[in-house]
Amino acid sequence: MPDEIKTLVAGLSAPEKSISPKYFYDEAGSKLFEDITRLPEYYLTNTELGIMEACVEEIAELAGERASLIEFGSGSSMKTRMMLRHLRSPAVYVPVDISEEHLLESQRNIKVDFPDVEVIPVVADFTHSFDLPSPTTMPLRNVVYFPGSTIGNFEKEDAIDLLRVMYQEAGPDGALVIGVDLQKDPAVIHAAYNDSAGITARFNLNMLRHLNREFSANFNLDSFAHRATYDSDSGRIVMELVSAEKQVVRIGDARIQFDAGETITTEYSHKYTLDDFEAMAVAGGFSVAKVWTDSKQWFGVYYCIRD
Ligand code: AVJ
């Protein structure tokens, strides 16, 4: 724990303040994210689901019999269920997450609907390679699954490093199925992170409430505001919390100074072109066997293979 506070304080003491997006997801934050996925402006989830409905059968065909499904992040989402429903006698489902709590919940949920699928959660930070468990049934192929365009949270170089980890975990003849949000009309992207109901603003600000509770901080939520801007040159959303005034905030034993208008970056959400992301997959060691998109080309689902 003390190490965790140290990292947080270091991020808040840098000339450009930042907090890792992982602090969005306490219980309230996970609920708010669920609400975001149902917003009319937040096209990502529904678009990806629509693509999956159209292509999951083909994915299952490519993956073949007795594949293992290794999800980066603890899933149990509709998309995960869709994969497990279509895969041919999946050998095992392995959700990988840093949070044991999230993993146990996802394990419980999956077991109810898929009593015949072995579920072996792995508690690990998936940005570094980790040991895969040995399931009862020997898998014929590993299929790494990383839906939701979570890859967009990583800066480009880090995203390629993560793809290299996935390449390793996929193993010889393994595959990667990954969902990626694509570049499009900036107004559409802007609206997705600035919804009219203000849910994304609450989601962003909830991070401060989380830090107040878990790390004895005293952020005043009324003195920070949500901001999300899309920079089409870098192709990414930058989410920030903007200090309304000059103020000092305590976190643990540290004191953090804010000027009026000073920002904390809480998240990047990168959008790629189809070709850009293919090049990244290749830099990670994969080749792209197939990509599916929606009719507007707003989102891509890639089937990448090791060869
Ligand atoms: C879950 C990381 C894909 O970047 O769109 C939603 C999180 N942030 N609204 C995204 C998020 C603001 C989301 N990811």
Are the beta carbons of 182 and 152 closer than 8 angstroms?
no
Residue ranges of the chain whose pLDDT lies below 70: 1, 76
| Whether residue 80 has its Cβ less than 6 Å from ligand 1 | no
In this structure, the strands spanning 236-243 and 247-251 are unpaired
The pLDDT of residue 187: 98
| Whether residue 153 has its Cβ less than 6 Å from ligand 1 | yes
Are the beta carbons of 151 and 162 closer than 8 angstroms?
yes
The pLDDT of residue 62: 98
Q: Encoding tokens for residue 191? A: 């609206």
The pLDDT of residue 223: 98
- Cα 164 to the center of its chain, rounded Å: 17
The 10 Å Cβ neighbour count of residue 276 is: 16
The pLDDT of residue 285: 98
| Whether residue 293 has its Cβ less than 6 Å from ligand 1 | no
Residue 177 CA to residue 236 CA, distance in Å, equals 22
37 CA → ligand 1 middle, Å: 9
* DSSP 8-state symbol, 116: T
- Cα 284 to the center of its chain, rounded Å: 18
307 CA → ligand 1 middle, Å: 31
| Whether residue 199 has its Cβ less than 6 Å from ligand 1 | no
| Whether residue 266 has its Cβ less than 6 Å from ligand 1 | no
The residue count of the chain comes to: 307
Mutate to test the pocket of ligand 1, among 269, 298, 299, 301 (most ligand atoms within 8 A of CB): 269
| Whether residue 206 has its Cβ less than 6 Å from ligand 1 | no
- E strands in the chain: 17-18, 67-72, 92-97, 122-123, 141-146, 175-181, 224-231, 236-243, 247-251, 254-258, 263-270, 287-293, 299-305
| Whether residue 150 has its Cβ less than 6 Å from ligand 1 | yes
Q: Is the pTM of this model over 0.85?
A: yes
